[in-house]
Every structure is written in structure tokens, then in C-alpha cells.
Structure 1
Amino acid sequence: MKKLVAGVRNFQSNYFSEHQDLFEQLAHGQNPRVLFVACSDSRVDPNPIASAEIGELFVIRNAGNIIPPYGAANSGEGATIEYAV
């Protein structure tokens, strides 16, 4: 837990301040051009895989990166896809 707390503090004091313009733009909305479906596996991080910065990808992550067929279930995946589109 200490590592996570230290990471958040580092983000707040370093990364955020170094990228303040980006976060000010993102505060006004998002406009990613790509919906990236990825596995929720902690070893899979879509942004470095796609060489994308914060705000460039709309990401949906779930077990097995599976999207159920239309009408098969009331799923968060379907709602996420609708929101992304």
C-alpha cells in the first residue's frame, strides 16, 4: 500500500505538474479516436502497447477482452461501446 500511496503522491507532484496543459484540456472533455478493447490482466496496459498518451484511447477492459454479441446480455461492455461511439 505504501508504494501505491507514494506513486499517487509522485503523480500529483511530478507528472501532473509537468503535463498540466494536457490535463487542463482533458478537463473540458475527451475526444479519443480509438476504442481499445483489452483484457483486465494487470500485465496488459493498452497505452504503452499503442504508444498512446493519456486521453488518446477510450479503453474498455474486462476478463478475456470479450464483447458479448448484441442482445446477449445487458452488459457494461455494450454501454461502454455506445458511449465511445
Structure 2
Amino acid sequence: MRENLILHWQTVRPLPKVTIDFGEGCKLERTIRGNSIYYILDSSGRPINAIPGLYRLKAFLTQLKQAEVIAALLSNRSGREYENFL
């Protein structure tokens, strides 16, 4: 897939933190994930798809394979034709 797709991930804001105070000086502090989106671009950097949320590996790979099919269908299109098809 690396030959056909570029997967781009970036943090656009600090991760939210949650603190649980168990008392007696015992605290648990962790960052929480969410609000994620993975942008899938073709080799020219054009957007193909966006996968929101968090996925288990198998489901994520399924999404990437679907994006690979879309990329193949879009490869010979440009401009308005590309946008309309997408």
C-alpha cells in the first residue's frame, strides 16, 4: 500500500487529559484519545478519503484497501472530473 497511498496523521491540538484522584495522594493522570481523522492522499497529495475515529487493525486495513480502490479509479481524472467523482 505504501507504493500507492500516503497516510498522513498530525496532531492539531493538545490531547485532553483526565485525572482520577483516588485520595491519599494517589492520582492517575492519562491523556485520552479521540477526535482523530486519518487523511488518505494519493501520490500527488490529493485527498482520496478521510477515516475518522479509531479502528482496530483489521478494520483500519479494510478502510485503506477501499481507499486504494478509490485511488485507482481516480488516477486518470483531474480537475472537476476528479472532484465530481470523489
Query: Which has more strand, going by share of residues?
Result: 2
TM tier relative to shorter chain:
under 0.3
Query: Which has more helix, going by share of residues?
Result: 1
Give the TM-score, by structure 1 length: 0.21
Give the TM-score, by structure 2 length: 0.21
